[in-house]
Every structure is written in structure tokens, then in C-alpha cells.
Amino acid sequence: MKKAAIIGGSMSGLFAANFLKKINWDYSIHEMVPEPLSGRGAGIATYDELAELVKFTTGYNQSLGTSCNERIVLNKQNDVISKIEYPQVFTSWQYLYDVLLSNIDKKKYFLGDECIEILKKERINTLIFKSGKEIQADLIIIANGIRSNLKKIVDENKPEFAGYVGWRGLVNEADLSEKTFDLISDYFCFVLPKNQQFLTYPVAGVGNKGLEKGKRRINWLWYKPVTIQEYNDILTGKSKKKYEHGIPPHEIKDELIKNLKEEGQTKLPSSINELINKTDQILVQPIYDLKCKKMVNENIIIIGDCAFTARPHAGMGVTKAGFDCYDLMKCLDNIELENLNHALISWEQKRMKEGIFLVERSREMGFYIKKDETIIMPKNEIVLDETAVSIKNIKNYPNKSSLFN
């Protein structure tokens, strides 16, 4: 039986394992984190195509989360100043992760299993782990995200800081005042201060009743431009340790949270400030662009955020990772190993087009989030129309006609 080794056990790795399972490839997943992954990211915008991917690979045919039928923009006075109809389902990272995880063989999912080197010799790849373990595989799939140290064996491009960060948090609907609950709970909600963007939407709460209104959570994000000095300060923890790309929540300095709340009082409506003030744990995520030059090196490939990281405005990170793996399944089905590299090159050509398109599109969508007072803000309706929409609604999306064909 042909075998693939998957480095990284988050969304991309789980999608890869599920699709490999469908074509009877053996697989193993190697995740460096020793504990089960949980709570990574908060909310995920879903679309028909993502639901179809999940159903196709796992058979899961239930709703992936909570739904909103309309999008709104609020002003500083809590007035709705723009509104459009756009039905959409929002899920949580944990919910989707659990669905994908439930469909694979848990004995093939290894936690605390850090791969530190990949040795290439003809068509035989050897993975060397921190524990001293070594394994071989016909195909190696590197799916361990934007911070991957292994991806350089395929592509050496590095993430580029976009000039802003996203502060984020979760609040139980039950903890909100009646006024705020009524104002935002049924909507994909935006606030657009000068050079910034704030958004909220409902996601599943905890437990088997977490999809019920009133028992859900509100996910919020605040995109704010920062100088390089501010960026470095954000990534320097309470312990004085300097982090790269992201910082653990417990290391975020209290002064930064205090400043965030004070700025909210001057720029945001009271309903939005309530969300910030009632958040138990505020996180911060620097925003990056990552665009690889290649995804294949013989029988080693990179997928998901390891290859392309688009700014969150497009809302396509998980969906793109799913299609990376769906197209990979089609490429590998019934393939003979001597033809593997040729098939992977064809796969790469298609996936590169979509990755480049999404990175460029999301960069354009965030053009106004920078420290430049001369920038003219986009019209509210444009933000509502273009943020986190289905591939079917994106003009000029490459390979659109080939989805699921």
C-alpha cells in the first residue's frame, strides 16, 4: 500500500488524511504539540463549497455551525448605517477540527512527534524525529503552517508582515446586555474606523446546545495598523522573550490590553466595547502574506498556510486547504509511484494559480488598514459585498468551473 507521511495535525493535515483515506493510501500524521489541539483560532466563515468538501470526505451532513442572513455596518452611535442580505454559516475551529478528526484512524495520529529533518535519496524519503525515530514514506506532505521550518526543502519564501495585527476574542452571548445582544447577535457585523476594521459574528458555544441562540458565543476581531516598533513590542512578552510570528495569550502585556480598551472607548460603539471588556482572554495575531514559488520538490509537497497564507479578509484559508487536498486526492488516485512526480507537478500548477489569486485578492481587501491618513476608506457596501464570500461570488476566481469536477 502506498504511504504518505503528513507533518502537522491541524486543518490541512486532517483534510489530507481524510482524502488519502478515500483512495486507500496509508497515512500517518505527526503533530509536534504534545497535547490534543484545541481552541486554535476562534471563528471560521464557511461556504457551500467547504460544507461539500467536509461532506464528501467524512460523510458529515449536518450544519457546521451558526447562521446569519444579513451583514451590517454600525457607526459610533450604534446605528445600522449599511445592510445587505448574505446568508452564511459560521463555525468554530474546534467544531470543524473535531469533525475531521473523528473520521480518521486515531492510531495514525501522533502527538508530540516533532519531525526535525527530511532526508532525500532518490524516491525514498526518510523523516527524522526529535525522539530519534525514523520513518520512510512514498509521499511527504508538509502541512505545519506558516511557521514551518521544514518547508524550505520545497520553497524558501518567508512570510511578509502586512503592517497590521488582528486583536480577537470570544464572548458568551449569555454575558451580553440585552441591548447589545439584540443589536449584533443575528448579524455579521462590521465597524469601520479610519484605517481599521472591526467585525463580529456568532459561533457555536460549549456543549451540545451550543448552537442555540443565547448559548452561542460572539467572535470578534479588530484589525489595527502598527509601526514596526509597535509590532516588536506586541511580540515581546511579559517575560521579555521575543516571539516570532505570534505570541501566547498569557504573554501579552497588560498595558497593551489596557491601551486597546481605551482606544475602543474613543473609536468604537458602546456595544462593541462591551464585547472587548467582557472577553476573558484577548489574543493578538500579526497579519502576514505568504506566497510560495513552488509547492513540489519531487515527492515532497507543501499545502495550506505552509504554501500560501492570505489575509483573513478573504476568509478562505480553511477552504483553500481543503481544495489543496481534494485536488491532491484526484491527482493520486490510481497513480503508479513512478508517475508520482509528474502528477504532482500538474497538481501544483492548478493549486499555485488559486493560492496566488487569494493572496493578492486579500491584500487588496486590506489596503486601507495602514498608518496613512491620506487613504480613502472603501464604501461600506464594498466591504460587506467582498469580505469572506463564497468562491462562487468571486469574480475571476481561477479554476472555478472545475470545482468538484
| Mean pLDDT of the 48-68 span | 92
C-alpha span between 161 and 311 (Å, rounded) = 10
Terminal-to-terminal C-alpha distance of the chain: 26
402 has pLDDT over 70: no
C-alpha span between 225 and 287 (Å, rounded) = 10
40 has pLDDT over 70: no
In the chain, % of residues over pLDDT 90: 85
404 has pLDDT over 60: no
41 has pLDDT over 80: no
| Mean pLDDT of the 135-141 span | 96
Lowest mean pLDDT, pick from 153-157, 335-339, 400-404:
400-404
- Identify the pLDDT of residue 128: 96
- Identify the pLDDT of residue 268: 97
> pLDDT tens for residues 205-243?
877 788 889 999 999 999 999 999 999 999 999 999 999
| Mean pLDDT of the 57-74 span | 93
158 has pLDDT over 70: yes
What band does 175 get if pLDDT is binned at 50, 70 and 90?
A: very high
- Regarding predicted confidence, which is higher, 38 or 202? 202
C-alpha span between 66 and 329 (Å, rounded) = 29
309 has pLDDT over 90: yes
**Closest C-alpha to 78, from 166, 169, 198:** 198
- Identify the pLDDT of residue 396: 83
- Identify the pLDDT of residue 327: 96
- Identify the pLDDT of residue 352: 96
Residue 6, judged by CB atoms within 10 A of its CB (0-12, 13-18, 19+), counts as buried
Domain 3-38+94-159+288-367 superfamily per CATH: FAD/NAD(P)-binding domain (3.50.50.60)
- Give SS3 for 242: strand
| Mean pLDDT of the 53-65 span | 91
Strand partners, 201: 219
- Identify the pLDDT of residue 163: 97
For residue 338, CA distances in Å to 7, 54, 138, 329, 334 come to 23, 31, 10, 17, 12
- Identify the pLDDT of residue 401: 53
| Mean pLDDT of the 192-202 span | 97
DSSP annotation of 59 reads -
| Mean pLDDT of the 258-264 span | 97
- Regarding predicted confidence, which is higher, 210 or 82? 82
Please state, as a whole number, how many other Cβ atoms lie within 10 Å of the Cβ of residue 301.
Answer: 27
